[in-house]
């Protein structure tokens, strides 16, 4: 707290400090990963598969427990056993690669469920919010469709609306476009760009380099469980870091 920078910079919304994750099978998935995410920031994490980027993202809302280190949200330590983890998770939305919509609920039902059951909102209030959110992601004509009647892109937009319904402080995206047909990637990325423009704090694991270049405030490169590089997009894609160069050579 004595550092002069602390006073001018806002406090980070999410703080990962020296996070280590060792799986039961001995795989050391995260090695001393530290990252600060500030309010309103869009941080994109890229890296080869198996680099630990998804695991790292999942530790941020404790879907994945950590072996050592600290995760702080709004200065609250999630690894502290006194922290109500359910309350924290309600504040951090998550969008999955496989959408994970609830198949027994309509689009509206999917968005309404958590506000109804977790926040105990009235049905009218939850429904109004759900309608607004689905309209916002361009699905005003799909309120009563079950997920099985929606395309992948539509399902992912419902999933984004569903996490927004809890009015989260930050959204985590775990490869949100990787399971989509190419023609549907754009519609999901557009929604995400819109959110970024509105000032939502976002952490995005993706292979969409265009999105990283265009929307990200910072790009993070991970490999072998280590955070290798953390830069603004301009400097990131011009970087001559050998490990990054090798990776970019493979994907671009």
Partner 1 sequence: MQTNSSRWSGHALYLLIMAMLLSGVYFAGQKIDYSWHWERLWPYIVNTESQDIVAITDGTALVDESGQLTIQPDFGGDPQVVQRYDTLVSRNGDLIFQGDTIARIDGWRFGPIAQGLWVTIKISFISLIFAVLLGIIFGLMRVAHGQVWRNLALTYVEVIRGTPLLVQIFIVYFFIGTVFDLDRFTAGVAALSIFTGAYVAEIVRAGIQSVPVGQMEAARSLGMNYAQAMLYVIMPQAIKRTLPPLAGQFINLIKDSSLVSVISITDLTKAGREVVSGSFAPFEVWFTVAALYLLVTGGLSWMIQRLEKRLAASD
Looking at the Cβ atoms of 172 and 219, the one nearer to partner 1 is 172
Contacting positions for partner 1 (CB under 8 A): 61, 63, 86-87, 89-94, 96, 98, 100-106, 113-114, 117-118, 146-148, 159, 162-163, 166
Looking at the Cβ atoms of 92 and 215, the one nearer to partner 1 is 92
Length of the chain: 252
Q: Identify the residue whose tokens are 């080869």.
A: 48
Question: Minimum Å distance from CB 23 to partner 1?
Answer: 15
Looking at the Cβ atoms of 95 and 184, the one nearer to partner 1 is 95
Looking at the Cβ atoms of 120 and 240, the one nearer to partner 1 is 120
**What percent of the residues of the chain are helix, what percent strand, and what percent coil, each to the nearest 5?**
40, 25, 40
Is there a contact between 97 and 175 (Cβ–Cβ < 8 Å)?
A: yes
Question: Minimum Å distance from CB 133 to partner 1?
Answer: 13
Distances, alpha carbon 122 to alpha carbons 109, 116, 117, 125, 251, in Å: 14, 7, 10, 5, 48
Looking at the Cβ atoms of 166 and 244, the one nearer to partner 1 is 166
Question: Minimum Å distance from CB 74 to partner 1?
Answer: 15
Contacts of 251 (CB under 8 A, 6+ apart): 207, 209
Question: Minimum Å distance from CB 111 to partner 1?
Answer: 10
* H-only helix segments in 105-170: 107-117, 123-136, 152-164
Cα separation, 187 vs 231, in Å, equals 27
Cα separation, 57 vs 172, in Å, equals 7
Q: What is the token pair recorded at 215?
A: 């929307």
Question: Minimum Å distance from CB 81 to partner 1?
Answer: 15
Question: Minimum Å distance from CB 98 to partner 1?
Answer: 5
Looking at the Cβ atoms of 100 and 239, the one nearer to partner 1 is 100
């Amino acid at each position: 707290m004595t550092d002069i920078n602390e006073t001018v910079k806002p406090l980070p919304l999410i703080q990962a400090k020296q996070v280590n994750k060792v799986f039961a099978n001995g795989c050391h998935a995260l090695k001393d990963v530290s990252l600060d995410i500030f309010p309103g920031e869009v941080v994109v994490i890229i890296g080869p598969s198996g680099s630990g980027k998804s695991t790292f993202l999942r530790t941020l809302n404790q879907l994945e427990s950590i072996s050592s280190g600290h995760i702080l949200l709004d200065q609250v330590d999630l690894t502290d056993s006194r922290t109500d983890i359910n309350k924290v998770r309600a504040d951090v939305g998550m969008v999955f690669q496989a959408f994970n919509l609830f198949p027994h609920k309509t689009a509206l039902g999917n968005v309404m469920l958590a506000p109804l059951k977790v926040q105990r909102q009235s049905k009218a209030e939850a429904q109004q919010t759900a309608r607004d959110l689905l309209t916002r992601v361009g699905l005003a004509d799909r309120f009563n469709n079950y997920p099985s009647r929606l395309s992948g892109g539509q399902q992912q937009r419902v999933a984004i609306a569903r996490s927004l319904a809890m009015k989260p402080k930050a959204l985590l995206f775990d490869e949100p476009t990787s399971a989509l047909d190419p023609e549907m990637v754009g519609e999901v990325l557009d929604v995400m760009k819109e959110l970024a423009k509105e000032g939502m704090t976002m952490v995005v694991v993706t292979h969409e380099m265009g999105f990283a270049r265009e929307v990200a405030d910072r790009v993070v490169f991970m490999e072998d469980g280590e955070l290798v590089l953390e830069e603004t997009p301009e400097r990131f894609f011009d970087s001559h870091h050998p490990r990054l160069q090798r990776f970019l050579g493979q994907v671009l």
